[in-house]
Amino acid sequence: MAAVFPLDTTKPWVFNGVTYEYDASEDRWYVVSTTATDSVIEGISDNRSQIDVLDTIIDQEIENRSNLLDAATTKNNQQDASILELDQRLDAISDAAGTLQFKGRYTYVLEKSEEACTQAYLACLIAAAGDPLAAGECSNIDAACNAALDEPYSNGTFTSKGTTNVISDIEEFVITGIDLDGQSIDWLNVAEVGDYLEMFGIDDGDTALYEIIEEPKVFNVERSIRVKFIRETGAGDGKLNLQENYTVRVFKTSQGLDLTDADKRYVIAPYVVYFADSPADITPVADSGILRNGELWFDTAALQMFVWNNNSWVAVSPPPTQDIRVAAVEADIQALRAKPDITSSTTAPVSPKQGDLWFNPSTLKFAFYTAGAWINPDQS
C-alpha cells in the first residue's frame, strides 16, 4: 500500500514503522527514525543479489550482442571485398563491350620441355663460338632449364608449345591465369572456339592474330589454348622473343568482330608522316608510344624526308639544292599538315589530287603531287 502523507504537517507522522517529519523550508517530508526488522533488511539484500544477477545477465547479453555485431561486420567486410573483386572483373569485361576483349600483359618465356631446353642449349653453344667459359655457362643454363621442368610457370608469363617462337608456326599457347598487373583472367570461360587471340609486341611492334580452334584446357596450373594462325603485321621480326612483354587480347566473335576492319591492323605501311623541325618534336601516334618501322618524318627545317628503320631515322632523299623550286612545294606541305593522302607503293597512285604524297619503298623516294605532276624534292 502506497503512503499518503497527512495534510497536518505540524506533527510527525508514522507509517510502517518509519517516522517522518515535515520540513517547511524545503516543503517536503523526510525520515527521522525507523523500526525496520531484520526480515526487511534481508529482503533488501535478496533484492540486491537478484539485481546483481540480473546485471550479470544483462552484461552477458550485451557482450553476446556485440559479438554478433562484430561477426556481422566481419562478414560484411568479406562480402564487400568479394563484391569489389567482382566489380573489378566486371570492369575488365565492360572494357570490351561491343567488340573486344579481355586484355592482359604477359612476358614471353621458354617452354618447359626437354626439347626446348635442348634447342636453347644448342643456340647458346653456337653463340659461344668456341669460348670455353661461355660454353660452360651454356651447360649451367641447360641444367637449370631441365631442373625447372616440373615447376609451374610464373604469374604474368606465357609461352608457345612445340619449340617454336616463329609467329606463323605457333599452334598452341600456354598462359597463366594472372597477368603482370595482378589481373586475374579466367581463360577457361573467357576464350571460346571461334574467338580470336591477338598478341601485340610492346617492345618491337609485332602483332599477330590467331583463331581459337579448341576450348582452353588445364595445363598443370596454367591454361593451354590451341590456335590457328591468321595473319601478322610483320612490323617486328616475326617472332615472339624471350623476356619481352606482350599484350594478349581476346576478341569475342559473339560481340561481332569485323575482320575487314581488323585487317587494317595487319597492313604494312608508313603509318603516318610527322611534320616537325626536329625528332624531339615528334610524338608517336601508336598505342605503344614508340615509333614503328615505315613511319615518315618530313624535316620542315631542312626540307628533307626520313623513314624510321630499326630504331633510327634514315634519310630517303638528299637535301634540296638552292635552285629547286621550293615555294609551291612548301605551300603544298602546309596544306598537307591538316590531312594528307599518303600512298606507299612501287607504282604511282591512280587519280591523285593536288597535295597528295607518294612514297616509293623500292627507290626510297618521296614525291608531292602538284600542278598535275609528281614532284620529287631533289628535282631541279
Most confident of 18-27, 178-187, 360-369: 178-187
**Which residues, other chains included, contact 126 with Cβ-Cβ below 8 Å and sequence gap of 6+?**
none
Q: Is the pLDDT higher at 321 or at 81? A: 81
Question: 320 and 300 in contact (C-beta within 8 Å)?
Answer: no
Return the number of other C-beta atoms located less than 10 Å from residue 329's C-beta: 19
**How distant, in Å, are the alpha carbons of 163, 271, 277, 297, 363 from that of 280?**
41, 19, 8, 11, 27
* Tens digit of each residue's pLDDT (9 = 90 or more) over 174-220: 999 899 999 888 888 888 888 888 888 887 778 888 999 999 888 77
Number of residues written out for the chain: 380
State the pTM of this model. 0.45
pLDDT interval class at 108 (50, 70, 90): very high
Question: 199 and 104 in contact (C-beta within 8 Å)?
Answer: no
Return the number of other C-beta atoms located less than 10 Å from residue 29's C-beta: 17
The phi, psi pair for 179, rounded to 5°, reads -90, -175
Q: Is the pLDDT higher at 33 or at 48? A: 33
As a whole number of Å, the CA-based R_g of the chain is 42
Amino acid of residue 191: A
* Tens digit of each residue's pLDDT (9 = 90 or more) over 262-275: 555 555 454 578 89
Q: Is 156 left (phi over 0), alpha (psi -120 to 50) or beta?
A: left
- How far is residue 227's CA from residue 194's CA, in Å, rounded to a whole number? 10
Question: 104 and 185 in contact (C-beta within 8 Å)?
Answer: yes
The phi, psi pair for 108, rounded to 5°, reads -80, 130
Return the number of other C-beta atoms located less than 10 Å from residue 285's C-beta: 12
The phi, psi pair for 356, rounded to 5°, reads -65, 155
Q: Is the pLDDT higher at 28 or at 225? A: 225
- How far is residue 6's CA from residue 194's CA, in Å, rounded to a whole number? 102
Calculate the CA 120 to chain-centre distance.
31
pLDDT interval class at 99 (50, 70, 90): very low
How many alpha carbons fall within 13 Å on the CB side of residue 282?
24
Ranges 69-78, 301-310, 363-372: which has the least confidence: 69-78
Mean pLDDT over 347-367 rounds to 85
**What HEC string does 94-110 produce?**
HCCCCCCEEEEEEEECC
Share the mean pLDDT of the chain: 78
* Tens digit of each residue's pLDDT (9 = 90 or more) over 243-269: 999 999 888 776 655 555 555 555 545
